[in-house]
Amino acid sequence: MENQSSFDNQNKIKPNNNMPLAIISTVLGCCSPIFIGFIIGIVSIVFATQVNTKYNAGDYLGAEKAAKLSKILSYVSLGLVLVNIIIGIYKYSTGDFHNPIEDFKKGWEEGYNSGK
């Protein structure tokens, strides 16, 4: 039975684990709101690492599912980054963009001046 499983895996092509895509989406996911893209990117890396392990263990269907999930989650992470960039460009072009550091400084000065 063991020889049958290893023979079957030799005939099946190992699915692409999409690790470079998962890593890129994780790094760029830092630019998404509340780091949601970053978290999804980390999950995609976890699934990408499972592909080789499952394939070597003889679980071809599990390896294929992990590869698909890794790819989907990577694209979701990149999509969140893209949406955030588009919203930022829109806010900047309409003048609705606020610098959070300047807002913090103004709030700090107002709080300091009101205490005197």
pLDDT in tens, the chain (116 residues): 444 555 555 668 999 999 999 999 999 999 877 889 999 999 999 999 999 999 999 999 999 999 999 999 999 999 999 998 998 888 888 887 777 777 778 878 777 666 65
In this prediction, residue 28 carries a pLDDT of 93
Q: What is the pLDDT of residue 1?
A: 44
pLDDT of residue 65: 96
Are the C-beta atoms of residues 38 and 26 closer than 8 Å to each other? yes
Supply 80's token pair. Answer: 């969140």
Query: pTM (2 decimals)?
Result: 0.74
Distance (Å, whole) CA 69 – CA 116: 58
The span from the CA of 46 to the CA of 75, in Å, is: 15
Overall residue count recorded for the chain in this entry: 116
| DSSP class of 12 | S
What is the reported pLDDT for 45? 97
Residue 11 burial by CB count (10 A; 0-12/13-18/19+): exposed, middle or buried?
exposed
CB 16 within 8 A of CB 67: yes
Tell me whether residue 79 is exposed, middle or buried, using C-beta atoms within 10 angstroms of its C-beta: 0 to 12, 13 to 18, 19 or more. Answer: middle
pLDDT at 19: 97
pLDDT at 31: 83
pLDDT score at 68: 97
